[in-house]
């Protein structure tokens, strides 16, 4: 069985070769290790391998991990990204513990995060989740709703709007993967005329990383390929 360290090295070499193929530098794409459902020990192994950015989907579990590592010697190097659906009664926990939120699709949630962000912390980095495949069942706003939500959130004092995120419909061929990611990158480009600070595109997972990077991804979110399959038996 391969170790977490070996898996991270493998994923980083995939990122590097994907960036080389499209003429980007390897450091223009950040690896977000998605550690949801995985124990503290697994995160420790990843940190020992030089991985410092982690993604979590469940508030309570994520907060426990943030708090655990808050006293560690790497604490200031670590960044914690909330990437799951958000209920309004959980915003305070997120505002108090995370550095990034990728999954914003409502002004109401963003407003609560801004109000609840502690004054001693830097502004919370925000990505808007866009539903690039227009599936009714998925979270995320449509392209048509994007500009109005971006304008509203960019004006909130304790947030900084950094970019967009998507979880496209699964596609096995490169061209359809690329088309979905390119649409998100184009939307970001259009928004940059009004919001020039936008610099982050969270797109690409294990199966579609190469297309995402060719389309301009700056954060790829990888879980299983680093930590192995997840066990959801203790989640409701
Ligand atoms: C779980 C999750 C991932 C990672 O998925 P893997 O298939 O394990 O790599 C990435 N992004 C989001 C939003 C997720 O919820």
pTM: 0.96
Going by the DSSP 8-state scheme, the letter that residue 38 receives in this structure is -
Whether ligand 1 lies within 6 angstroms of the CB of 211 is answered as no
CB 156 within 8 A of CB 111: yes
Among 212, 223, 226, say which to mutate for ligand 1: greatest number of ligand atoms within 8 Å of CB: 223
Whether ligand 1 lies within 6 angstroms of the CB of 224 is answered as yes
User: Which pLDDT belongs to residue 144?
Assistant: 95
User: Coil, strand, or helix at residue 164?
Assistant: strand
- Residue 133 reports pLDDT greater than 60: yes
User: Which pLDDT belongs to residue 194?
Assistant: 97
Q: What is the pLDDT of the chain when averaged over all its residues? A: 95
Strands 200-202 and 159-165: parallel
Whether ligand 1 lies within 6 angstroms of the CB of 170 is answered as no
Burial 36-62 (b: 16+ CB within 10 A, else e): bbbeeebbebbbebebebbbbbebebb
User: Which pLDDT belongs to residue 96?
Assistant: 98
Measured between alpha carbons, how far is residue 114 from residues 109, 110, 230 in Å? 9, 6, 32
Rounded to an integer, the average pLDDT of 30-45 is 97
Which among 94, 97, 111, 48 is positioned nearest to 74, based on CA atoms? 48
The percentage of the chain sitting over the pLDDT mark of 70, rounded to a whole number, equals 97
- Residue 234 reports pLDDT greater than 90: no
Of residues 132 and 19, the one with the higher pLDDT is 19
User: Which pLDDT belongs to residue 137?
Assistant: 61
The percentage of the chain sitting over the pLDDT mark of 90, rounded to a whole number, equals 88
Q: Which pLDDT band holds residue 112 (cuts at 50, 70, 90)?
A: very high
Nearest CA to ligand 1 atom 5: 223
CB 218 within 8 A of CB 199: yes
Which among 185, 88, 57, 199 is positioned nearest to 130, based on CA atoms? 185
User: Which pLDDT belongs to residue 197?
Assistant: 97
């Amino acid at each position: 069985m391969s170790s977490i360290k070996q898996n991270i090295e493998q994923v980083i070499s995939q990122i590097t070769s994907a960036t080389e193929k499209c003429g980007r530098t390897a450091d223009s794409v950040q690896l977000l290790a998605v550690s949801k459902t995985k124990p503290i020990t697994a995160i420790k192994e990843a940190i020992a391998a030089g991985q410092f950015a982690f993604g979590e989907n469940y508030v309570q579990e994520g907060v426990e991990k943030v708090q655990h590592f808050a006293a560690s010697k790497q604490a200031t190097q670590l960044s914690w990204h909330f990437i799951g659906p958000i209920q309004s009664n959980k915003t305070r926990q997120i505002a108090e513990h995370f550095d990034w939120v990728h999954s914003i699709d409502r002004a109401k949630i963003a407003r609560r995060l801004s109000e609840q962000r502690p004054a001693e912390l830097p502004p919370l980095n925000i990505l808007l989740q866009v539903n690039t495949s227009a599936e009714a069942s998925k979270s995320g706003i449509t392209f048509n709703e994007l500009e109005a939500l971006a304008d509203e959130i960019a004006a909130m004092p304790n947030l900084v709007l950094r970019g967009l995120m998507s979880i496209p419909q699964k596609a096995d061929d490169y061209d359809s993967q690329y088309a979905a990611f390119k649409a998100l990158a184009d939307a970001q480009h259009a928004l940059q005329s009004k919001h020039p600070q936008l610099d982050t595109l969270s797109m690409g997972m294990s199966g579609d990383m190469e297309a995402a990077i060719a389309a301009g991804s700056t954060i790829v979110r990888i879980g299983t390929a680093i930590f192995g399959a997840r066990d959801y038996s203790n989640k409701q």
